[in-house]
Amino acid sequence: MLLDGVNHIAWISKDVDRLGRFYTTVFDAVVEPTREHGPGETMTVIDIGPTTQLNIFVIDGNTQADRQTPMWGRGRIDHVGLAAASHEAFETIRSRLIDAGASDGTVNDFGKALSIFFRDPDGLEGEVLLPKP
């Protein structure tokens, strides 16, 4: 295979500080300093794995972060799937998602993987997956 996973996922947020706290608290992510990205625009990188980042943009006057619709009505990118590092990590993330009020903790068995869905503070739906042995 020529690829090795996802490098980054970019989206627009209204509150990168709140979003950064969520990903740090639940996933032990590392939030890098916010920097200017263009006129009226900032970018904050949130490291969520050794080679995977969330690139979060705050853009003056942009209202896209307010648009939340049901699954499969969200456009071409519907949700983000994150890979748990281990079974222990999966269970820790599950507990933290419940504590954060971001998930009811339901574990889905999709045959080849276990999955937990969550909604982050911006309303973006995410999923944490753990491959089954």
pLDDT one digit per residue (tens) for the chain, 133 residues: 776 788 899 889 999 999 999 999 999 999 999 999 999 999 999 999 998 999 999 999 988 888 777 877 777 777 889 999 999 999 999 999 999 999 999 999 999 999 999 999 988 889 999 999 8
Sorted by sequence, the CB contacts under 8 Å of residue 74 that are 6+ apart come out as: 68, 125
Question: Is residue 108 domain-resident?
Answer: yes
**125-131 and 113-119 as β-strands: parallel, antiparallel, unpaired?**
antiparallel
Question: Is residue 67 domain-resident?
Answer: no
Which stretches does DSSP call E strand in the chain? Answer: 8-12, 30-31, 35-38, 41-47, 53-59, 80-83, 108-109, 113-119, 125-131
Q: Domain range holding 13?
A: 8-61+79-131
Question: Is residue 2 domain-resident?
Answer: no
Q: What is the CATH number of the domain that holds 115?
A: 3.10.180.10
Question: Is residue 39 domain-resident?
Answer: yes
**80-83 and 125-131 as β-strands: parallel, antiparallel, unpaired?**
parallel
Number of domains in the chain: 1
Cα radius of gyration (the chain): 15
Amino acid letter for position 29: A
Question: Is residue 122 domain-resident?
Answer: yes
Question: Is residue 69 domain-resident?
Answer: no
Question: Is residue 66 domain-resident?
Answer: no
